[in-house]
A and B are shown apart, each in its own frame.
Chain A
């Protein structure tokens, strides 16, 4: 199935030109089934369903009609062509949403969510965009907005009605409340890291010594031959990127050039690029040749010095240590991965929270791709990906950071016993940022709350 939407004044008349089966009097939200014809009316194009929407009751807020036809791209193209011939023009990307926003059918956050929905690449971000659309983020921020207005109402009432017989919140109460708002805004802001991952995808960088099987691992994951695999060290000169889905999240898995000293200039450039790729990694998949692992006297395992050095150089991203060619080490095959992790860790000066998992694998094994994917999915639990009001948009992030900074400034002022008329400026600034985020106008909300909350007057 494919859907086409015609929106704007006289949409119904326009569609009727191609759908003569439609009655003169159309009902909104009612499905009509019939054959769509070309303009000359001499050829049936497809049997379709037409859904008309009355002005004010459609997604865009305009009179509109949706046509559902069979899903062949060629068919869709022909119907589009006929619609254009009948007077329609092709919508710009996101134009329906823009109209919907301009007609007040969706708010700014919702509109941006729809745009993200259109652009999202994977299920997970589609779900997340849907969450925002339903206003999960909006509701969360509206709650914070309301709390902030409460604080401002108490501050302003204390200033403008200091003579009135009213109990405004004491500074300690205000401080506690503001602190809690700060924490919650911080939480929303923190979700941005996870949110970015969802929207732009995860960056997984595979690194390690030459010829340890990095490309084989990537291929296993992508289940297609993206990188040239050969047994000559240094085959991968440029980072090779494969986009795939990991646990419903779109990921860019980057295979980097083997890390080694080289005199080959082209290869050296490749290595420089690879270093850059590693710097932006969310996950560093560090591959070593299991056959080259050294045994310690206490039964521990030790990476060779070159590996250790390389690992130390790479950036702060958490590390998934892959022991490839495990088939060459039957002694390790008997151990659980947790046991291997213990044994490896002993001889490494890597911080606890960076080395998260070990994966023992044979990249040439047919199950290696599945195993690798499984390890990565477990890795993702590091990120807040619950989709619960996660910030995904940089405009949102900017506003939320603005709200946070002003709020912190206000708290600092309160701590320094500075006047509430100054604190109020920062809080209003913070409130304005939240309201911008919601696409709301900064208005008399504070005074309205003052009148609601307090008994004033002569």
Chain B
């Protein structure tokens, strides 16, 4: 534990590009919405599969 307890020296280089941040945020929000919709559909399909009854599948 005694070795490696120094944080790496990091020089702050980045200027926060707020326009780029907002543009990317808008795009990525849509990705998360798509992913949520897919997840919703998958859950529904799984529930439908189980509701047919385990023994009818095998």
Physical interaction between A and B? no
- Which residues of B approach A to under 8 Å, CB–CB? none
Q: Which residues of A contact B (CB under 8 A)?
A: none
